[in-house]
Structures are given as C-alpha cells and as structure tokens.
Chain A
Amino acid sequence: MDKLINDFSIGLFFWQSLVFLLLIFVLKKYAWKPILNAVNEREQSIEDALKEAEKARLEMQSLQESNEAILKEAREERERILKEARDMKNKMISEAKDAAATEADKAIVSAKAAIEAEKSAAIAELKNQAASLSIDVAEKILGQELSAENKQTAMIGKIIEDVKFN
C-alpha cells in the first residue's frame, strides 16, 4: 500500500484527468455524435426500407385480392346477365307462343263463324234458288197440265184430295 501511495503521481493524475476530459468532449463533438448518428440513421433507413417492403408486399397482396374480387364479381355479373337474357328469351318465346295460340284460336273462331255465316247464306241462297226453280218447274208443269181441260180438272181434283187428307 505504501508503495502504491508512493507510486501515485499527482502530476500524472492531473494530466490524465485533464486530457481524458478534453478527449471525451472533443470526441463527443467530432466523432461519437456523427458516428452514432450515422449508425442510427442507417439502422433507421434499413428498418424503414424493410417496413416499406413489407407494406408494398401487403399492398400487392391486397391489390391482388381486390383484383380477384373484381374478377369474381364480373364473372358473377356475366352469369347473372346471361341468366337474365336466357330467362327473358324464354319468357318472350312463351309469350309469343301464347299470343300466337290465342290469335290462332280467335282466327279459327272467326273463321268458323264466317264459315257458318257463309254456310247459312249459301243454304238460304240454295233454298231461294230451289224455291224459284220449283216454281219455274211448277209453272212449266202447270202450264202443260193445264193446257188440257181434263188435266186441269184432274189436277184440281188431286189437289183438293190432298188438301182433304191434310
């Protein structure tokens, strides 16, 4: 211990303390601060870059997901439109069919009616024709028959007989 105390030099202690304190302050200003700042800055920039990359990756992923969703939606839309079109087509066809059927029915009905009318007109015509023909015939027959006296009398008598039987 005595030797330690004897070895202790106040001068060396003084210079060591002075130089070391100065060294701390000088290095702090000219070395440690710039170095640590640079290291921090670099670490920060690396961290930021990594974060950016991660963010970009996530963005990419979400973009892809949204693309997928849009595609899916589009596909669904197409399906829906196609289905609608198909439905509409079917409906139109069936409507057209119905319309055509009713139209046809109507036409048939009116045709039938026309035919009936024509038929009854034709029958009436035929009846008239037949009546006038029979009159003509009757006239001719009557003219011949009644040209002879006896034939007139026979005739009248026959008619009278008929009337009696009636």
Chain B
Amino acid sequence: MISKFTALSAFVGLMFFSAPAVAQDHGHENTHLENAHQNDAQNNEAHGEELHGEEAHSEGHGHGAFVPASDTEGRKAVVKETVEHHLADSYEFHIVGPVGFPLPVILFDNGLKVFSSAKFQHGESVAEVDGQYYVIHHSKIYKTDAEGNMLLDEAGHHIKPLDFSITKNVFMIMFMAVFMFFLFRGVAKTYKNSLVPSKAGRFLEPLIVLIRDEIAIPNIGEKHYKRYMSFLLTIFFFIWFLNLAGMTPLGVNVTGNIAVTVSLALMTFFITQFSGKKDYWMHIFWMPGVPVLLRPVLAVIELIGLVVKPFSLTIRLYANMLAGHVVIMSILGLIYIFASYTAAIPFTGLTLFLYVLELLVAALQAYIFTMLASLYFGAAVEEHDHH
C-alpha cells in the first residue's frame, strides 16, 4: 500500500512539473482564436467598453502567445492568470494540451436551455441558443447581445442567467460520488464471504473504525452516535477524496470552492439544529446555572456562535484548500518567471515538499471537518444532568 502510494505521489509530482509547459501550450493553441476574438472585440468597441477593457487586460498577457523571459511583469501576469484559471470552475474538462471534453451547460433563462459548452469554443466565442446569446467571462456565463456585448440590468450589473450547468466541479462531484459508491459497495460486499476485510477494505476499514471510535463515539456518545455515522463517514471520505483529486494535475478544485463548502457546512448546520434536544436549546436561549440577568446576554452570544459555526466550517475548508493550491501553483510559477535552471531545481524541491504537506492537509481538513461536525452533533444531543 505504502509503496503504491509513494509511486502515485511521485507520478503526480512529475505531472506537476510539466504544468508550466502545459500553460504555454495552451497559450499557443489559442493564438488564432485570440486573434479572431481580438478582431471581434475591436469591431464591438463602440458598444461594449467594459467588456473590451477587461478583455484587453487579459489579452495583453494571459492568453497571449510566447512571453519573453525578460518580460518579468508579463510572465507574472501569465502565472496569475494560470493560477486563477486553475482555481476557477470551468465549463469544459480540460486535461492536458488539446485533450479534454466539453460539458453540458444548463441554463434557466426564459425556459430551460441545455447545450454543450463546445458552443463557446473554449470560452472564446459567443454561443447562440434559441435566439439568446451567452459568453463566458471569468469562468461565468453572462448574457450578451448578438455581437457579444454583455447586457446590463437596471442596476447596471451584468446579467447572469440562472446557471445549473454540469461544470467541471459538478462533474468531479458526480464522478466522485459514483467512485465512492462502487468503492465502498465493493468493500461492503467483501464482508459477505468473511468478516475479515480484504482488498481495499483492509485500508479503508481502519479509517471507518477510526471515525467511529475516535470521532463519533467520544463526541456524540454511545447512545446517539449511530444515527450520524452515515453522514460523518460520507463527508469524511467525500472531502478527503476530493481534496486528493485536487492534488492531481487535472486542476480540480472542488473543496476549494465556496459553494461546495457552504453546502457541506449548511448540511452540518441543519442536522445539528434538527437533532437539538431540549437541553441544547436551553443552553442557547436560557443558560442554566447562570444569573438570570446574564442569560439574555449569553443567548445573544450563543446565537452568534450558532451562525459562526457553519461559517467557520465553510471558510476553514475553503481557505485551506484554496491556499494550498495557490501556494503550489505560485511556486511552480516562479520557475517560469525566473526562467533559469538554478531557480528550477530548488523551486521544484520546494514544490515537492509543499505537495507532500498538502497531501497531509487534504486528510487533515477532512478529519477536522468531520470532527467538528460530530462535536456539534454531540452538543445537540447531549443530555445534561439537571442542575
């Protein structure tokens, strides 16, 4: 198991080293599209100043062709763009170089509209669907007119259609769900023959038992823990696997996305509140064993705590994963900016070190999220001796 793991991380590490090269390839490939777009933008200059302004900036460096090593500022912009692109969600699943596949776009905009993201031609052109025009700008879909000028609402904001697309992150979530289903059903099936775990179960069962014995039972208690096991196990492996998926060069950043962590934290929040017993609410609104005058003050503090808990869960996971990705990508980017072998060697070593650290963080954040969730559940179901 360990040797396989080492081999996998070494492989992943190697893939990462090629990332800047990939970024450059990407740039080359898009050059002709860029030119076409540029012409397009120039034609529309009169109508869409804002769009043009934004695009001009990114065209200057980001999507541009080869940036000479002497142009440090230019290269910095390329790195920034690459990092941002990596962290953002995407409407296509880009693997390496020209390899990748478009994903379905689902919009609610005067009715349901489903079409392939190939229509955007890697986000470079305006997609026309049933007489409506859309464009991808900074990884989001906006409504435009036929010429590709973003439409504004009364308040002067760009109009975003209600977007339920199967983006890269949604695709990864679904993929991970299917993967987890087959993985754990496989583990469950091995128990039919013998109670001794085999295959993947040998590795996964200790983790399942760890969550039960070290997280669920101590925090929730023997009496109630069973009800929460499914949630805790699912959330632990879901976060951990998606964190690990984020460490692959596929550039998926699911757990570093605020919408995902908000969803996970809100589920934890609602499960906590719905399982809250009398004692739990008593401790929030009318803390026993405290002078009566203090009780309303404490209630306010407890109510703030109630909201802060899911918020902290959201931000902790989001920020940790995002930061890890930014740091690794930035240090790799330094190689590109310095463009010298003397820089490449130490920065590669540093990246490898941080990468291993991130593998630890991937497991740690999953553990912490599960631990805190079980802590909140435990507080909700706790029955105090009456004072």
Residues of A within 8 A of B (CB): 4, 7-17, 19-28, 30-36, 38-39, 41-42, 45
Contacts and interface: CB of A to CB of B under 8 A. Distances in A.
Contacts of B106: 11
Interface of B: 89, 106, 140, 162-167, 169-170, 173-174, 177, 180-181, 184-185, 187-189, 191-192, 195-196, 201, 205, 208-209, 212, 229-231, 233-235, 238, 257-260, 262-264, 266-267
Contact of A27 (B140, B173, B181, B260): B181
Contacts of A16: 169-170, 173, 259-260, 263-264
A15 B350 CA distance: 36
Q: From A7, A14, A17, A25, name the one whose CB has the most chain B CB atoms within 10 angstroms.
A: A7
Please name the 6 residue pairs, one residue from A and one from B, whose CB atoms are nearest each other, closest first: A31-B184, A38-B191, A34-B188, A28-B230, A42-B195, A12-B259
Contacts of B173: 15-16, 19-20
A24 B231 contact: yes
A12 B188 contact: no
A10 B169 CA distance: 13
Chain A interface secondary structure, helix, strand, loop or mixed? helix
A32 B260 contact: no
A35 B188 CA distance: 5
A2 to B, nearest CB: 12
Contact of B264 (A12, A20, A26): A20
Given A17-B263, A27-B180, A9 B89 contact: yes
Contacts of A34: 188-189, 191-192
B99 to A, nearest CB: 24
6 contacts: A16-B169, A16-B260, A20-B173, A30-B184, A35-B205, A42-B196
Given A27-B230, A36-B229, 10 more contacts: A10-B164, A11-B163, A12-B89, A15-B164, A23-B181, A27-B180, A38-B195, A39-B205, A41-B195, A42-B195
Contact of B259 (A9, A23, A28, A36): A9
Contacts of B260: 12-13, 16
Nearest to B175: A19
A4 B181 contact: no
Contacts of A30: 181, 184-185, 188
Contact of A39 (B167, B209, B263): B209
Given A23-B181, A27-B180, A31-B184, A11 B258 contact: no
Contacts of A25: 230
A139 B180 CA distance: 163
A13 B177 CA distance: 15
A45 B195 CA distance: 10
A35 to B, nearest CB: 5
A23 to B, nearest CB: 5
